Structure 1
């Protein structure tokens, strides 16, 4: 409310010297100034009340009408209101859009071109709606499955690499130093460091600490979409971090051996079964301390 009040005073040049200095120092001042410059046409000329009254009296009046003569501040208020709507629209359209999936949850949403995105647990995507059809670019943290509508180049930027496609279905995953990309339909171009790879239907690639590993694909879509956590040559630390993310729990691991690699699947909707598989595979003992706290020890 205070912010809107200052905005209105600024538009009417009613801010004190101190208020103006504070307003110009605010992080949103530059956006307000640009929008104000673009909407100068909203300023209403001074109202000639005598001319308006004269024109009304010249008209033939069959039924007496009462026509109120609004003062200039009314039009100023209307301009402020329209400008505020313009600012709100600009923030929603030009500003960064963010979609997230909390731990233990998945999120499905559509992009402006009706491309569909499914975010895995503990993941985030940022993009801009403005000029989307000509610049289909987004930033991903975590893991997401994309069903991309045909159009201009579609880019997924991560901190480890970039994926470029036209119209296709693919999965992108970043975890610490590992970067996985799988193509389920069409073609996908993967850029990692100085390496560029073209993937086609049924192909996948993984990079970890600069090393390349080709993935074996046996499904038509990511296993996590069907509530299965799939691992391929992952160590137990990576495995447990993914279980924590999917179930929104905290796991304390007390074991010396963290280098043994695991390839297989764990359920994402049955914690007891997932923990049992881990315990049997690594010969560990699982203890539930509370609903969200698990301790795993050596036997």
Structure 2
């Protein structure tokens, strides 16, 4: 009896005892057996199956098709392809990778999370979260700065390298850049955890952690200024103001014999580079120049 016929009967569990004995003595049998054993370890869930192939066949429209014999290699490839496809589907649905959203220099974007919470990312910022686990764990990691409008529900956690913020449903802004960690609450109550301290902020309160020093202050803003095209600062080191300027305009700034530790209070717009540069240099009596390739140099004003 031809090997192809034995293989087909074996797959359909229709071999007689004599045929089974013949088939088991063939050179290919160990390979077929291992392939089926590997496929049987695949466990799919939430899928219904028909009781037998005949019930499926009865549902299909009858039509005449040419009969084509399949050789052993074709059968093996078909079995293998089904196994690979099944494993791929299982992996996709059971082990979905985390969702990552990031912005480039000069870019802002608003995204909707699975629970309808909204996150607006400032320039050069990034959030990562698990869509699959979101219903049980409303948690994401943040690099950079973002404004959150959180839908009411279970606890919502924002995790950064410098600390975390936990809320139930509110509006707040989180900023984590280099050594700075800042949280502003615009609505509701947020809990801030960083290192050994835990603080609660209510609407209109701001908390900032800089180089281990905790600073609390009031905020009269109804939302983050950067979301309206303006970056604002209260006693921030000048070098950090310059870095934010670089992020918003996608430029490089060189400080020529200018201290980056001087504290700056003020702001700059995001749609006019020269205006922005005047806003950050004039309070210190500094000059600036812009080269053709958008390289900005800030230097002391000559007497």
TM-score scaled by structure 1? 0.76
Deviations 1:89-139 (A, max 9, x none): 445x3x111100111101211111111100100111111111211101111
Quote the offset at 1:214 in angstroms. 1.4
2:187 to 180, 185, 193: 185
1:84 to 60, 84, 88: 88
Larger radius of gyration: 2
Measure the CA separation in 2 of the matches of 1:159 and 1:297.
33
- In structure 2, the residue matched to 1:39 is 44
Measure the CA separation in 1 of the matches of 2:198 and 2:105.
32
Q: How does 1:1-299 map to 2 (within 5 A)?
A: 37-39=42-44, 65-66=64-65, 72-73=75-76, 74=78, 77-90=81-94, 93=96, 95-299=97-301
Quote the offset at 1:255 in angstroms. 2.5
Deviations 1:185-213 (A, max 9, x none): 11100001111111111111001111111
- CA 1:68 to 1:194, structure 2 compared with 1: closer, same or farther past 3 Å? farther
Deviations 1:211-242 (A, max 9, x none): 11113312110000000001010121111111
- In structure 2, the residue matched to 1:8 is none
Deviations 1:131-150 (A, max 9, x none): 21110111111100011111
Contact 1:232 1:264 in 2 (8 A): yes
- CA 1:104 to 1:70, structure 2 compared with 1: closer, same or farther past 3 Å? farther
Measure the CA separation in 2 of the matches of 1:174 and 1:212.
14
Quote the offset at 1:280 in angstroms. 1.3
Measure the CA separation in 2 of the matches of 1:155 and 1:65.
61
Aligned residues: 255
Deviations 1:141-185 (A, max 9, x none): 110001111111110110000100011111000111111001111
- In structure 2, the residue matched to 1:3 is none
Quote the offset at 1:84 in angstroms. 2.9
- CA 1:77 to 1:296, structure 2 compared with 1: closer, same or farther past 3 Å? same
Contact 2:258 2:299 in 1 (8 A): no
Measure the CA separation in 2 of the matches of 1:226 and 1:130.
33
Measure the CA separation in 1 of the matches of 2:149 and 2:261.
35
Measure the CA separation in 2 of the matches of 1:224 and 1:290.
27
Contact 1:156 1:164 in 2 (8 A): yes
Q: Specify every segment of 5 or more residues in structure 2 that has no aligned partner in the other structure, as ranges.
A: 1-31
Deviations 1:1-34 (A, max 9, x none): xxxxxxxxxx9968xxxxxxxxxxxxxxxxxx9x
Quote the offset at 1:258 in angstroms. 3.0
Contact 1:36 1:83 in 2 (8 A): no
Contact 2:267 2:280 in 1 (8 A): no
Contact 1:133 1:151 in 2 (8 A): no
